[in-house]
Structure 1
Amino acid sequence: MSIKDDLEREEVREPLMDKKNLSDEQGGSFVQSRSKESAWMVYLSTFVAVCGSFAFGSCAGYSSPTENAIRDDLSLSLAEYSVFGSILTFGAMIGAITSGPIADLIGRKGALRVAASFCVAGWLAIYFAQGVLALDLGRLATGYGMGIFSYVVPVFIAEISPKNLRGALTTTNQLMICGGVSVAFIIGTVLTWRALALTGIVPYGWQREDVKKSFKQLYKSFVARKADISQEATEIKEYIETLEQLPKARFVELFQRRYLRSIGVGLMVFQQFGGINGVCFYVSNIFESAGFSPSLGTIIYAILQVVVTALNTTVIDKAGRKPLLLVSASGLVLGCIITGISFYLKVNELAIKSVPALTLTGILLYIGSFSAGMGAVPWVIMSEIFPINIKGVAGSLATLVNWFGAWAISYTYNYLMSWSSYGTFILYAAINALAIVFVVTVVPETKGRTLEQIQAAINA
């Protein structure tokens, strides 16, 4: 079920104006008025959707500031708390597997409601938990909701956005995730762990029934036959009607030759296996081991990623997707090399006084570079390049790979650091260098193209 189905499910009772009965001047004013109204409805609908992204970030950021308090209150061992922290990614993987089919079956809006329901139930389970079982079940439920949000939100935004705003609006998904993580870090220092769990429910207040008005307006603006419809909207409508005649794709069909170039799995692989979750989850330990203040380093880190991600929303539709990915991956390579050098100097007791400054420089360059492209752009491209008849299955696969990578990197990071601290970052640098080759040779530029034009270019 596509966004068109979501919109057509909402009954439109108000009579629509017929532009044919208007004078040229009246018609122009009517079109301009409809255009402004449509834009505001897109912004409102995007805001409602990215509330799910903020909730996503809240889930991801919850475990770090609450570890000591939860372990003390519920008498958890380190192993039990580790299960609590990591089970989030397993829930997200399950959510990723089911996200596409759910979105196709009950629509994007319905999938957002399913995700919100699981997250609310999970937060309440955590709040009322008196033992490890309820705690883990709650964490699993919030992870499941995150898995659905991570696929549906960027896809939904891409499908309702005009081509000149699609990149910026879709990038707000990553911005809100970063915002959710940062807010959880900050308020988690002053609230109890139970109170912090209740704050996780707040973003879902915007996904209530009263947002139906925005969907009705989207319907009238982009789908209704009697309303003034732009050429782009007409192309989208015809394209959707054609694709809906095609059979739904099965998983094995994703590997047919005509789909190979359109699969976004590669970007998700490089996004995660470039080391982001190892750095993100253990950034305090990295600064501490390098002799730099972990609290100050973490604060700078959190602020930088939000600022750079916000700036990214202003340039993605001007600079293009590929240039941002290439600049980002290049910065990641350099950041990993600088960090690796700092650990090499520390291990070999060379220029010890320079280690803290080098580590700070390398890590900040790394997170700044990631936020500039590899953080948000893979999700933007994933939402753009899949044909509608395979979007559900392909999007689920890409999201599953992303969450598997998140788990794999966070799980192996400490083992790799025990093997070789500087070798770990050199390994991440090599993977990010391969990402540059992948982007240059495989990834298409989608800036300024309609979804239909993107498909035509890929399948040419």
Structure 2
Amino acid sequence: MSFRDDNEDARDLRKPFLHTGSWYKMGSRQSSMMSSSAQILRDGSISVVFCVMIVALGPIQFGFTCGYSSPTQAGIINDLNLSISEVFESVAFDIGYMRILFIIRYIKLQFVISKQFSVFGSLANVGAMVGAIASGQIAEYIGRKGSLMIAAIPNIIGWLAISFAKDSSFLFMGRLLEGFGVGVISYTVPVYIAEISPQNMRGSLGSVNQLSVTIGIFLAYLLGLFVNWRVLAVLGILPCTILIPGLFFIPESPRWLAKMGMTEDFEASLQVIRGFDTDISIEVNEIKRSVASSTRRTTIRFADLKRKRYWFPLMVGIGLLVLQQLSGINGVLFYSSTIFKSAGISSSNSATCGLGLVQVMATGVNTWLMDRAGRRLLLLISSSGMTGSLLLVAVAFYLEGIVSEDSRLYSILGILSLVGLVGMVIFFSLGVGAIPWVIMSEILPVNIKSLAGSVATLANWLASSIVTMTANLLLSWSQAGTFIIYTIVTAFTVAFVSRWVPETKGRSLEEIQSSFR
């Protein structure tokens, strides 16, 4: 079987993005010329961790984008209001009714500004859905590293557009660009980490993706307490400005190189990732056998999706990513400030920042447990804990509606709702937050990974948008009823995991994917 195909021209176009680098080529004649960067990567585990630390800057950018709108809302709206107030104060009216008409128009403008900020916050989801659609094909054609480079550029431009914005059009453009980059990142990073990680570390390293997202959210909340929205946007540039040069110091995914027919680069990349003193012959043969039945030009027809090797991993991957969002995590976080106030916590911004720190710590525990407890067990514990926590919030809200606000029971119910909220965030971070991305990157067959991964990522962002857009409407309808709906979804997640999700701990990607045949 030859891994070379008839698309050498296409390979030449991809060369600027590969940067596998002569500094890590195999053989004694190349090893004598290794740079200091290669010396850092001599040990296999250090090499993998180094690669993961570099690409983890992408999810940090992801989280920072998600968290940015929360601490900046008042600042952005106030800046816009100031400009309108100046116009109002600079115009003299001699006729009283004209002044009244102008005041009415001014109030309408304030309403429009408020609505504009809501649009600003949601445009990241719109851009992310577009990025998700394109992510699979971008990552397939120019590789995982090239895809991350492409994602970093609109993120940087987007942050600059926001930081120098003088009207809403620049805010909207910047948010869309950021969303596009985040959509690409959300697919590419977990796939890259899964493809480079040894099977005994893949779960822990894969969960670094979600850990980095929570760190990004927490940093946005924390820094937002001390700097204004323009400075915060400038700080948002940092992860991607470090990511781009960092990508030149890590190898491309060996599995992608093998699939593209680049035998030399494939083996050299794998050798660097596993360490120069490691025998990689067994893993090389496994990867070759895996891609032997799949070429880059393989076309999957709709009729083929009836085969278990395709429909089963598709169903599991998409199902987990959709249920992750339909659990209502965005709705819960959206309503957190109200719950804090009902529990008697006056500083909702500081409390939200504290909640972000709790999320980081719980996700860190998940990273440690992933390859010890296994994916299925953590998912079952996580979704079961979320079900109980959401039910507690729902019951607390229901009882708050039928007791007097002056009673002692009312304040106790506020504390219970806070406990349920924090519990839901902790249990979400222990499994449902990170594991769906890990499993998606593990179980999708190599010849449909780009298309199926894009569809799964798009479904995740679409579900996220639905929850974000409906949360306020549902909460206005019934607070208790809203959390009952989320409780039902998480209870269904328990059943879904019990019935359909396979355990992937300790198995190679090739073993996992061949088990569906």
Higher Rg: 2
Partner of 1:106: 142
Partner of 1:222: 270
Query: How far off its partner does 1:112 sit?
Result: 0.2
Partner of 2:62: 56
- Residue 161, structure 1, aligned to residue 197, structure 2: yes
Partner of 1:321: 375
CA deviations on 1:65-86 (whole Å, 9 max, x unpaired) are 1111111212361111111111
Distance 1:157 1:212 in 2: 16
Counterparts of residues 178-189 of structure 1 (less than 5 Å): 178-189=214-225
CA RMSD of aligned residues (A): 2.6
Distance 1:116 1:252 in 2: 37
Distance 2:394 2:253 in 1: 53
1:357 to 396, 408, 415: 415
Query: How far off its partner does 1:341 sit?
Result: 1.0
Asked if structure 1 preserves the Cα contact closer than 8 Å seen for 2:400 and 2:413, the reply is yes
Secondary structure of 1:423's counterpart equals helix
Secondary structure of 1:262's counterpart equals helix
Closer, same or farther in 2 for the Cα pair 1:363/1:153, shift >3 Å? same
Which amino acid letter does the alignment assign opposite residue 300 of structure 1? G
1:347 to 386, 401, 407: 401
Query: How far off its partner does 1:210 sit?
Result: 5.6
Partner of 1:369: 427
Q: How many residues align?
A: 443
CA deviations on 1:355-388 (whole Å, 9 max, x unpaired) are 1220111011100000000000000000100011
Closer, same or farther in 2 for the Cα pair 1:36/1:18, shift >3 Å? closer
Distance 2:298 2:25 in 1: 35
Q: Where does the alignment leave 5 or more consecutive residues of structure 1 unmatched? A: 20-32
Partner of 1:281: 334
Secondary structure of 2:507's counterpart equals coil
Closer, same or farther in 2 for the Cα pair 1:426/1:222, shift >3 Å? same
Partner of 1:312: 366
TM-score, normalising length: structure 1? 0.90
Partner of 1:262: 313
Distance 2:345 2:305 in 1: 47
Closer, same or farther in 2 for the Cα pair 1:452/1:35, shift >3 Å? farther
Secondary structure of 1:398's counterpart equals helix
Which amino acid letter does the alignment assign opposite residue 341 of structure 2? E
Partner of 2:356: 302
Closer, same or farther in 2 for the Cα pair 1:361/1:238, shift >3 Å? same
Report which stretch shifted further, 173-182 or 346-355: 346-355
Aligned-residue sequence identity (percent) comes to: 41
Query: How far off its partner does 1:192 sit?
Result: 1.3
Query: How far off its partner does 1:189 sit?
Result: 1.3
Which amino acid letter does the alignment assign opposite residue 54 of structure 1? I
Secondary structure of 2:280's counterpart equals coil
Query: How far off its partner does 1:39 sit?
Result: 2.4
Secondary structure of 1:86's counterpart equals helix
Closer, same or farther in 2 for the Cα pair 1:216/1:416, shift >3 Å? closer
Asked if structure 1 preserves the Cα contact closer than 8 Å seen for 2:40 and 2:47, the reply is no
2:166 to 125, 130, 144: 130
Asked if structure 2 preserves the Cα contact closer than 8 Å seen for 1:127 and 1:195, the reply is yes
Partner of 1:28: none
1:446 to 488, 498, 504: 504
Closer, same or farther in 2 for the Cα pair 1:390/1:223, shift >3 Å? farther
Distance 1:308 1:98 in 2: 32
Distance 2:387 2:52 in 1: 33
Partner of 2:286: 235
Secondary structure of 2:447's counterpart equals helix
CA deviations on 1:226-278 (whole Å, 9 max, x unpaired) are 98424224312332344226604467865655422101110011101111110
Distance 1:90 1:290 in 2: 34
Asked if structure 2 preserves the Cα contact closer than 8 Å seen for 1:41 and 1:217, the reply is no
Asked if structure 2 preserves the Cα contact closer than 8 Å seen for 1:92 and 1:146, the reply is yes
Counterparts of residues 58-73 of structure 1 (less than 5 Å): 58-73=64-79
Asked if structure 2 preserves the Cα contact closer than 8 Å seen for 1:38 and 1:221, the reply is no
Which amino acid letter does the alignment assign opposite residue 94 of structure 1? V
Distance 1:194 1:250 in 2: 49
Secondary structure of 1:215's counterpart equals coil
1:145 to 181, 193, 200: 181
Asked if structure 2 preserves the Cα contact closer than 8 Å seen for 1:45 and 1:214, the reply is yes
Partner of 2:93: none
Query: How far off its partner does 1:11 sit?
Result: 4.5
Partner of 1:23: none
Secondary structure of 2:251's counterpart equals helix
Distance 1:119 1:241 in 2: 37
Which amino acid letter does the alignment assign opposite residue 396 of structure 2? S
Asked if structure 1 preserves the Cα contact closer than 8 Å seen for 2:20 and 2:250, the reply is no
Asked if structure 2 preserves the Cα contact closer than 8 Å seen for 1:102 and 1:111, the reply is yes
Distance 1:434 1:173 in 2: 25
Partner of 1:414: 472
Which amino acid letter does the alignment assign opposite residue 400 of structure 1? L
Distance 1:199 1:439 in 2: 39
Asked if structure 2 preserves the Cα contact closer than 8 Å seen for 1:317 and 1:448, the reply is yes
CA deviations on 1:177-206 (whole Å, 9 max, x unpaired) are 000000100111111111100101101132
Query: How far off its partner does 1:285 sit?
Result: 2.1
Distance 1:9 1:211 in 2: 8
- Residue 331, structure 1, aligned to residue 385, structure 2: yes
Which amino acid letter does the alignment assign opposite residue 304 of structure 1? V
Partner of 1:47: 53
CA deviations on 1:331-370 (whole Å, 9 max, x unpaired) are 0100011001110111011621311220111011100000
Q: Where does the alignment leave 5 or more consecutive residues of structure 2 unmatched? A: 1-9, 30-38, 82-109, 255-264
Query: How far off its partner does 1:152 sit?
Result: 0.3
Report which stretch shifted further, 84-93 or 72-81: 72-81
Where has structure 1 moved over 6 Å in runs of 4 or more? Answer: 5-8
Query: How far off its partner does 1:14 sit?
Result: 6.7
